[in-house]
């Protein structure tokens, strides 16, 4: 996978990208907890609905976002139409988020009106505290991000998904060491050694789940290039933030 941090004016962020590349269209019900986040009418990031009032997303999607600019859409395969819309009343990104290293790349958004579960909307099942994805197991990411690595590539109007294997943290660290990029214990990685499949620009903040159980294991965070060999996608390790999520989620 490869990811795009939507703040290109920050030098280190400009090296990291996020889009679904090498994937296929998603079906209704594949990701009933995914939400599209738009910024004043433009597709911006993905997110995950964890209860009626709380969306989980990436801190790098949040740090420059203003609540009046954001619109959240759930229950639709299309980021710009259908489903249920909600405005955002509060944005809380992790107080120890590091823009340079992208560590603690997690945020919670409070919805101004509730989004209830329905035939097309569900709240995401969270992993056990401290759980690490099993190396070699298959995981699936989804989003409306760019379809290729080109800077001028358009976002997908329809939700897409891509399935890739988990790779070891040690291998991932070695892959990025030459670029002086750090993979911390709050991150995990997935992708094909030969490239060709990845998340990319605009997918940031969206879910990556266990391909079998659909348990939320991570959110799209960063990577370099897009579906390049030996440049895996890097994801927030949600299991390290279970206490953070429960302490700061909203119920009204």
Please list the active-site residues: 60, 105, 204
Tell me the HSE value of 51 on the side-chain side, using a 13 A CA sphere: 11
Spacing of C-alpha 27 from chain mean position: 18
- Beta pairing class for 216-222 and 54-57: unpaired
- End-to-end alpha carbon distance in the chain: 35
- Using left for φ > 0, alpha for ψ between -120 and 50, and beta otherwise, residue 128 falls in beta
Q: Which of 33, 6, 1 is nearest to 167 (CA)?
A: 1
The 10 Å Cβ neighbour count of residue 134 is 12
Buried b (16+ CB within 10 A) or exposed e, 184-221: bebbbbbbbeebebbbbbbbbbbbbbbeeebbbbbbbb
Q: Residue 18 and residue 21: Cα distance in Å, rounded?
A: 9
Q: Which two tokens stand for residue 81?
A: 């139409």
Write the CB contacts of 231 (distance below 8 Å, at least 6 apart in sequence).
2, 175, 176, 191, 195, 223, 224, 225
């Amino acid at each position: 996978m490869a990811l795009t941090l939507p703040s290109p004016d920050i030098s280190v962020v400009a090296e990291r990208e996020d889009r679904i590349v090498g994937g296929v269209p998603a079906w209704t019900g594949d990701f009933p907890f995914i939400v599209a986040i738009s910024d004043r009418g433009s597709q911006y990031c993905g997110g995950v609905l964890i209860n009626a009032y709380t969306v989980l997303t990436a801190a790098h999607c949040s740090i420059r976002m203003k609540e009046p600019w954001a619109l959240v859409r759930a229950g639709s395969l299309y980021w710009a139409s259908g489903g249920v819309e909600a405005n955002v009343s509060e944005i809380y990104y992790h107080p120890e988020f590091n823009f340079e290293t992208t560590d603690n790349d997690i945020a919670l958004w409070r919805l101004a009106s509730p989004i209830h579960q329905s035939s097309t909307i569900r709240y995401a099942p969270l992993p056990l505290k401290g759980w690490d994805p099993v190396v070699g197991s298959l995981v699936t990411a989804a989003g409306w991000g760019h379809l290729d690595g080109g800077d001028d590539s358009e976002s997908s109007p329809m939700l897409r998904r891509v399935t890739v294997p988990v790779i070891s943290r040690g291998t991932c660290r070695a892959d990025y060491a030459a670029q002086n990029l750090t993979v911390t214990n709050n991150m995990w990685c997935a992708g094909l050694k030969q490239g060709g499949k990845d998340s990319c620009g605009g997918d940031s903040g969206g879910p990556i789940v266990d391909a079998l159980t659909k348990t939320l294991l991570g959110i799209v965070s960063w990577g370099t290039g897009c579906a390049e060999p030996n440049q895996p996608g890097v994801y927030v390790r949600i299991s390290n933030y279970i206490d953070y999520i429960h302490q700061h989620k909203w119920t009204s």
